[in-house]
Structure 1
């Protein structure tokens, strides 16, 4: 298994571009209310001849060609079937993906929710005609037309997979077993110096989610749509938490090592990290706390400047086909997007462990989204704090 994902801060310039456009209410599906109006771009009505190549930007583990593990290869079969030679640029952060897409040299990208709205608003990602992606019909309905992959009822990509940010703890050090995020946000935590948190400005949403459940007077409805008062409260909570944090993590291997050594005993994590830590004999468990959690749902998006759009569409259909999506989900460590994939995983318990079809579970997960001035919760009487300000605040929080 290979897994890597880091979310670095976005630049002010990138956010200024992403947050442009006028306010317009969302229509239908899960499309964001109070959303911006993207540049007028159209999706193809039909596909033509494939161009012989496709240039991808992807998270490590999303486009395996056998070079990391000879037994893990879904790129070569794609190339043989379509005649599209795959050229993959592995990106380490969402910011890098946004910057690379602006060059116009890439055809498609596996964007996380903290990048997708930026790409849509800046005109770097085009609407997607899902009718030209046959396997889209088998994608879990709860992943389609959501706030991070559609605007005003228009789809801008194909869902790839999803995962939740969980609370992991050492069973021999933490007692009683935690059921709430208060275990990491309580300033009087008995685990001072041994708390860990995800190293990204998007972690502000975790604090906002906790306040949404514990301080309803703040009126938070969406942890990615914070007015100034709500934002300030979230920042204050994380500054308070900073005194108890021993380490902020972005490298999953370092988090596993930290939990094994006991330097970290409680903090944010992913199911796959908990599984790997257990495999290395670390006494850990991971839970979805009572308040719910944040999480990620990645989307394959097509560049508005794609030089190989037909091959790009072939790739979108391939990556969410039942067999391939099962392979990706197992290799990366996430829940597949295609509901038919669960019958095809080599580990027959994979979809159970990762809650692939457990919709009540996912209703508790608030997937990453890009905070913009037009409040994503539909409010039009206030402006929300854009992600550029989240980045500035995150630097102050960490000190």
Structure 2
């Protein structure tokens, strides 16, 4: 039920995306073609029909996505898949999106659970192929607001099967923070009474959180997309984070450490995930969360098939299996995220799970800006300026932390 290895989600190898000239928008449906996407993907055909399984499938996944009972005997959706399909699952757990991209480029893997910061890189480089959703029966029950999105489709073509999603939330200890916050301003206030006890996510992608906050508090900056920042907008976000550095007690990338910090009271306010909040509450820590009024950043993962997949039939069978209602529910509960299959909610062991994770709450997700990778061609559609690419986000993050 942890996300221990998703922590360094985006790193310097995002430069491979820049070299490919790839981009995308951070919200809304994607139906636009080259101009809308910012790149033209290589012409790679999708599988036309499903044939006999090849006997195995090589999977790259986040920890917790392809459990075979070795971590917990009661948590196993791999062996039932193998028994049903005859496709043996060979899983490689990846710790970062960059690792996933590099592994997929070897051509040795068939399918990958890519996050939004990796998926467009994989598409632009020709590493993954479009997906024939007609060969994935359970795709029909995927929540509509996860289909044809900027991080999983180009020019109306789906390049994967949505798996699950989550939001980055604001959490506080109710015994320490007396007035419940409703804004990210609580973690950016230079005069905060909680100085030294505030936490923030440790990644260059956190610059987007500052940009999102500035989009409402400094509208004159004209920020429309937190992943599409021109130099002026970028400088404003970086300056805000440099000021925030003075009040941050610790930056977290280790899920278990930030959980412990909130439990002990060393941290009283900051960015979190719903699963962390749930475990803190289970440990009797007096915490509460909110999706702030400015909205939040978040993630959406997609199962994608390698363009050079040696076991494409088993790969398709795996994608259909992993998003089937019962299995998608198992993964979501174990991992701590909202499932992608609308029928999964009826299969969760905790019947309040989907309400807690807002699985079917479409208005909630309209407030979440899913992670994307910044490139020089502005992802918000502007043509008259250049935006700051991710390599420079990485450099700035090093300077911010000092």
Where in structure 2 are there 5+ consecutive unaligned residues? Answer: none
- The TM-score normalised by the length of structure 1 is 0.96
Q: How many residues align?
A: 397
Tell me if the contact between 2:208 and 2:227 (Cα under 8 Å) persists in the aligned partners: yes
Question: 1:273-319 deviations in whole A, cap 9, x for unaligned?
Answer: 00000111111111111111011111111111111111111111111
Match of 2:369 among 360, 366, 369: 366
- Does the residue aligned with 2:11 lie in a helix, a strand or coil? coil
Is structure 2 residue 303 aligned with structure 1 residue 300?
yes
Which of 169, 172, 177 aligns to 2:172? It is 169
CA distance in structure 1 between the aligned counterparts of 2:23 and 2:318, rounded to whole angstroms? 33
Aligned partner of residue 191 in structure 1, secondary structure: coil
Provide the residue aligned with 2:3 in structure 1. 3
Where does residue 20 of structure 2 map in the other structure?
Answer: 20
Deviations 1:310-360 (A, max 9, x none): 111111111111110000000001110000000110000000000000111
Residue 237 (structure 1) aligns with: 240
Query: Is it true that 1:76 corresponds to 2:79 in the alignment?
Result: yes
Aligned partner of 1:101 among 66, 81, 104: 104
CA–CA distance in 2 between the matches of 1:18 and 1:30? Answer: 20
2:381 is paired with a residue whose SS is: coil
Question: How do 1:256-335 and structure 2 match up within 5 A?
Answer: 256-335=259-338
Aligned twin of 1:189: 192
Q: Deviations over 1:202-237 (max 9, x none)?
A: 111101100111111111111111111111111111
Distance (whole Å) between structure 1 residues aligned to residue 57 and residue 161 of structure 2: 17
* Counterpart-to-counterpart distance in 2, 1:22 and 1:79: 36
Question: Which portions of structure 1, spanning 4 or more consecutive aligned residues, are displaced by more than 4 angstroms?
Answer: 22-26
SS of the residue aligned with 2:134?
helix
Structure 1 unmatched runs, 5+ = none
Corresponding residue of 2:206: 203
Aligned residue number for residue 354 of structure 1: 357
Distance (whole Å) between structure 2 residues aligned to residue 92 and residue 100 of structure 1: 11
1:15–1:118 contact (8 Å) kept in structure 2: no
Match of 2:138 in 1: 135
Alpha carbons of structure 1 residues 139 and 23: separation in structure 2 relative to 1, 3 Å? closer
Give how far 1:9 is off.
Answer: 4.4
Tell me the distance in 1 between the aligned counterparts of 2:246 and 2:64: 35
Query: 8 Å contact 1:149–1:156 — kept in the other structure?
Result: yes
Does the aligned pair in 2 maintain the 1:21–1:38 contact within 8 Å? no
CA displacement, residues 134-176 of structure 1 (integer Å, 9 cap, x when unaligned): 1001000000111111122221111100111000001011121
Quote the Cα distance in structure 2 between the aligned partners of 1:98 and 1:22: 14
1:386 aligned to which of 384, 389, 402:
389
Evaluate the alpha carbon distance shift between residue 184 and residue 386 of structure 1 in structure 2; reply closer, same or farther with a 3 A threshold: same
- State the 1:21 CA deviation: 3.8
Alpha-carbon distance in 2 for matches of 1:138, 1:191: 45
More displaced 10-residue stretch of structure 1: 40-49 or 281-290: 40-49
Q: 2:65 aligns with which of 56, 59, 62?
A: 62
Q: Give the match's secondary structure for 2:257.
A: helix
| Among 228, 232, 238, the residue aligned to 2:231 | 228
* Residues in 2 aligned to 1:19 and 1:269: alpha-carbon distance in whole angstroms: 33
TM-score by length of 2: 0.95
